[in-house]
Amino acid sequence: MIWLTIILMTVIIFISRYIFIEPKLPLRLSPSVVKFLSYSAPAVLTAILAPIVFIQENTLHLNLDNSYLIGAIFAVLLILITRNTLLTAILSMLLFFLIH
């Protein structure tokens, strides 16, 4: 039963990742769909990162005691100044672990 679960989960997840990059799928993305999808990366990544930054233990933390928020503000400033993704990630992680 566990193996069946694992295999069916594998199938569902692989299809969800693969189906739209299959060229034989008769799908023509209209310019407005392409435009819509151009917002997907910033919107999805923000939807993943926002709860990490603002919510700890099911509560909203908008104060400066929140080391995630401090680190996030630092990361925003750093990327605006350096324009270097890797450097920003590493330096803001260092700051975060110093204050966390």
Partner 1 sequence: MQDQQSDSEQASPSKLKSALKGAASAMPLSIAVIPWGILAGSYAIEAGLDVIQSQAMSAIVFAGAAQLVAVGMIKSGVGLASILLTTLLITSRHFLYGMAMRHQMSPLPLRWRLTLGFLLTDELFAICSETKQHKFDRWFAFGGGFSFYLIWNIASAVGIFAGQQIPNLDELGLDFAIAATFIALVVPSIKTPSILVSVLVSLVTAVLCELFHIPGGLLIAALSGMSAGMLTAKLTHETHPNKTILTRPGDGL
Q: Residue count at the site for partner 1 (CB under 8 A)?
A: 71
| Residue among 91, 70, 93 at smallest CA distance from 82 | 91
Query: Minimum Å distance from CB 64 to partner 1?
Result: 16
30-69: contacts with partner 1 (CB under 8 A): 30-55, 58, 60, 67-68
For residue 21, state whether it binds partner 1 (rule: CB under 8 A).
yes
- Among the listed residues 16, 57, 63, 64, the single contact to partner 1 using CB under 8 A: 16
Return all residues near 61 (Cβ < 8 A) that are at least 6 apart. 54, 55, 68, 69
Alpha helices (runs of H) in 19-100, residue ranges in sequence order: 31-37, 40-54, 67-82, 85-99
Nearer to partner 1, 5 or 63 (CB): 5
Cβ atoms within 10 Å, residue 75? 19
For residue 28, state whether it binds partner 1 (rule: CB under 8 A).
yes
